Amino acid sequence: MMMNSQVVKRELQQYYFDVITNWDCRSYEEFVSLIAIQINRLPCIQLTGMYKWMKESSTYHLISTDLVSKELLEEGLNSKEISKDLFCFYSYEKDYYLNVTSGLLLYVRFSDINSISILQTIQSETRKVLKLAQQMMSNQDIYPFLYEFSISVFTMTHKSEILKEVYRTIQTFYPDNVIQFLLSHDTELDDDIPIQTIAYTDDETKSYSSKAFITGGVQLENVDKDSRKIYAPLTGKQGVYGVIQLLLKDSPGMLLERQISCITHIAHTAGMAIENVSLLETSNHLISDLKLINDVTHKVNSNLDLTDITESVRDKIEEVCQASEIGFIFRHSENRVDILSASTSYFKSKNSEAFTAFLFKEIDYPVFKGDYDEYPHLPYRSLMVIPMRQEYEVYGFVVIMHESPYYFTFEVYKLLQSLIQHCSLALSNAILKEELQRAVITDYLTNLYSRNHLEEVIIKEMKVAEKGSLILFDIDDFKKINDEHGHPIGDEVLKQVANIIIDYSKQAFVPSRWGGEELAIYAPNTSINEAVQIADKICGKVKTSTSPSVTLSCGVSFWTRTINDSVSELFIRADKALYEAKNTGKNSVVKNVKLK
């Protein structure tokens, strides 16, 4: 039979069809060997062989031929030193080498004729069948592998583990291609794999990666004639969590479609796995937050002591967000502001008074600021202000601050907002309880403690402390004020004097109304000379600051653990000193140092 290119094409197609339909190859190299055998069946071909390019040695190595010809072909190849840059077909005396795929070289020797058209037909038909074989081998290998990949990633509990498995899987299929992960800001990063954060600038939104992220669809970018980039989004049911960027080389036609399908499957599976992990993390956070709120609420609702409640809440806030300063600010009905004792140091300093007043004046709603600059010279940049409400009324604020900008997350803010809301009733009840207790022991007109409370405090002090002083004040000629100006003015003068006494009373002091126009201070662990100095300052301030102007007469006594004493004796001595001050010209301070 006369051989020409048409006959060769028909024969080869039949041979190759038989090989494909009876596919039982275990490897691609086995298939290549079968192809070489089929070519050798052509009457015009004397000898065939297949060579594979080896990177390690930078030469072609024989992978298939008949045993008789193997030694000859290997020797011939080494002597000719065929390079990887060989063009489509090449003749050396009677031998021809055809470049049939990237990295695969077909050797043929004609038996009687040599025809360029026949060589072209052999090359073309062999390229087609090898491409088909690659696709079939890919189908055989990839789907079980992808199944195992799916099982693996859906059992993982951390996003970084999933991304590492994706990277390993893609490298298995495409070891020579460049892989890059482009992730959203809320996805954790890992230094072991190539990761970048997706940019959201106007220019970046026009990029293929941003289009893939925004649309959730695969994008394909032509880099040059031999390479393309695939952008496959990591998609879940609720969102897109990033993009896989893969640079593919020499991937035309159906092979490119198979690669896109493979990458898309991997990306979608990974996206679903990441979403599951995210939902699990969110659920765990919610459970943890609810447990925290439940524990704190249970603790504060079982306690009506305001200090204990606020300290518990403060400790939990510090645990949750590591705040630098926490303030509990309470507003009384008469617009008087109290800083509760559980507040941290800044809120107990003089610097905080103007700031807390500013907050109550300017803010009546929750505040979350990452770069707060509305109050001049405040050394804190991150600010959370969470109102304490009883029904619809704001009765106070919890203020949480840190020096660093953008230190608190919005999730922490929402958690603390919920925590304060759940504790508001307990805080309100504790504040109400303290106000009721204070009302019982406080004089309504002057806001000073009652005489009974003063007496109870001194009795307790005499059991545990080392010493203390009692100061008694009497407003000179107070009856004259009432007679000349009326009792309402007399009450105002009494309140003016009481406020001065409160201002000069240290934290542990007990300013009290002794009775009528007589007022008192008990000063724990204070010597009589120190008490006299305090009394002198108060008398001087009253004389210059009251309107109409009044003066004070003052008697001071003290007690010490070294001498047996009693509350009544302490009172008597102070009263005697006050009587002496009255009888020696008034507007003076007299001390009684006689102890029995």
Residue 106: closest CA among 79, 83, 88: 88
Amino acid sitting at position 580: E
Note the pLDDT tens digit of each residue in 420-467: 777 666 666 666 666 666 666 678 788 888 888 889 899 999 989 999
> The tokens 């990306």 sit on which residue?
267
Amino acid sitting at position 245: Q
Size (the chain), residues: 596
Q: What is the CA radius of gyration of the chain?
A: 46
Segment 145-161 mean pLDDT: 78
Note the pLDDT tens digit of each residue in 135-146: 666 555 566 667
Residue 114 tokens read as 């040599």
Query: How far apart are alpha carbons 523 and 467 in whole angstroms?
Result: 9
Strands 195-197, 178-183: parallel, antiparallel or unpaired by DSSP?
parallel
pTM: 0.45
Residue 158 tokens read as 């951390």
Q: Identify the DSSP state of 348.
A: G
Note the pLDDT tens digit of each residue in 218-237: 888 877 766 778 888 888 87
The three-class DSSP label of residue 461 is helix
**Strand-pair partners of 91:** 96
Rounded alpha-carbon distances, angstroms, from residue 384 to 372, 379, 439: 10, 14, 33
Note the pLDDT tens digit of each residue in 390-430: 666 777 888 889 999 888 888 888 888 887 777 666 666 66
Residue 391 has a pLDDT of 66
Alpha helix (H) ranges present in 154-251?
159-173, 208-215
Residue 374: closest CA among 387, 392, 362, 360: 362
Query: How far apart are alpha carbons 212 and 243 in whole angstroms?
Result: 7
Query: Any idea which of 14-18, 127-131, 289-293, 300-304 has the lowest mean pLDDT?
Result: 300-304
Whether 108 and 119 have beta carbons less than 8 Å apart is answered as yes
Alpha helix (H) ranges present in 442-527?
451-464, 478-485, 487-503
